[in-house]
């Protein structure tokens, strides 16, 4: 194993502890917090790219898009269905006061997540950028690199479990309940990556999951405000 790969693994494993330390020095501003998180994610991903193009990683290049035609069409169908669903939810939030109340109540029960979700239009736009960054960076780090690295040392099943758990631990700043929940999402995303044999599909699914949370929160708050 080359030095760059050892450093990369150290960075990935150290990431949760860095997150916990940095969380103690919050900006008390959602936009600044989003920018901070984006920079952290791309710092590690940038080092991942650098190490890969230096030929220092054990893992090799994998297909970006599904190599099987029907899987490509299936993935596109899933993306379209998810986008339609998000649009339907926005419409339901707009029209139905009970839906808005239910969503707002659900997020209020979880302060750690609610603090991250957007309230204003500017926060919402930056949240979208954060969602895209997290989708790209975390899938490249945890699914493409870490999963394949662990699989080389063990087998695919252990690789799915361990890489997903480490992905969950990376969100420990949200609490242990979210570590478990995020680990399960990691298993789902890892399964998506393996089934479609494409990191791009996993990235887009990840982005849409993140966008969904921010979108329903933003529109629920927006339409719940009394009209002047």
Mean pLDDT over the full length of the chain: 90
Give the 3-state secondary structure of residue 2: coil
How far apart are the two ends of the chain, measured CA to CA in Å? 63
How would you classify residue 175: left for phi > 0, otherwise alpha for psi between -120 and 50, otherwise beta?
left
Q: Where is 201: in which H helix or E strand?
A: helix 199-224
pLDDT of 220 above 60:
yes
Regarding predicted confidence, which is higher, 157 or 16?
Answer: 157
Q: What pLDDT band is residue 25 in, cutting at 50, 70 and 90? A: low
pLDDT at residue 22 is higher than 70: no
Q: Kindly list the distances between the CA atom of residue 62 and the CA atoms of 86, 105, 145, 187, 198, in Å, as whole numbers in the listed order.
A: 30, 42, 10, 19, 8
For 162, counting Cβ atoms within 10 Å of its Cβ (0-12 exposed, 13-18 middle, 19+ buried), the class is middle
**Domain span holding position 107:** 3-224
Sign of the Cα pseudo-torsion (49, 179, 208, 128, in order): negative
Instruction: Reply yes or no on whether the pLDDT at 206 is more than 70.
Output: yes
State how many domains the chain has.
Answer: 1
Lowest mean pLDDT of 9-18, 40-49, 148-157, name the range.
9-18
Q: Is residue 143 within 8 Å of 202, Cβ to Cβ? A: yes
Mean pLDDT, residues 169-185: 90
């Amino acid at each position: 194993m080359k030095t760059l790969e050892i450093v990369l693994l150290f960075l990935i494993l150290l990431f949760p502890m860095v997150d916990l330390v940095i969380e103690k020095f919050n900006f008390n501003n959602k936009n600044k917090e989003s920018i901070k998180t984006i920079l952290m994610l791309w710092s590690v991903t940038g080092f991942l790219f650098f190490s890969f193009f230096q030929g220092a990683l054990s893992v090799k290049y994998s297909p970006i898009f599904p190599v099987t035609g029907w899987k490509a069409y299936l993935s596109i169908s899933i993306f379209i269905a998810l986008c339609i669903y998000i649009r339907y939810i926005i419409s339901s939030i707009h029209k139905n006061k009970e839906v808005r109340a239910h969503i707002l109540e659900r997020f209020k029960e979880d302060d750690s997540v609610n603090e991250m979700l957007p309230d204003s239009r500017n926060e919402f736009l930056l949240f979208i950028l954060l969602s895209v960054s997290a989708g790209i960076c975390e899938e490249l780090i945890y699914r493409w690199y870490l999963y394949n690295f662990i699989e080389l040392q063990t087998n695919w099943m252990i690789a799915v479990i361990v890489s997903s758990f480490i992905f969950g631990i990376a969100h420990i700043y949200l609490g242990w309940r979210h570590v478990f929940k995020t680990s399960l999402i990691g298993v789902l995303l890892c399964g998506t990556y393996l089934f479609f044999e494409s990191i791009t599909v996993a990235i887009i699914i990840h982005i849409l999951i993140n966008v969904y949370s921010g979108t329903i929160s933003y529109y629920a708050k927006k339409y719940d405000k009394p009209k002047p």
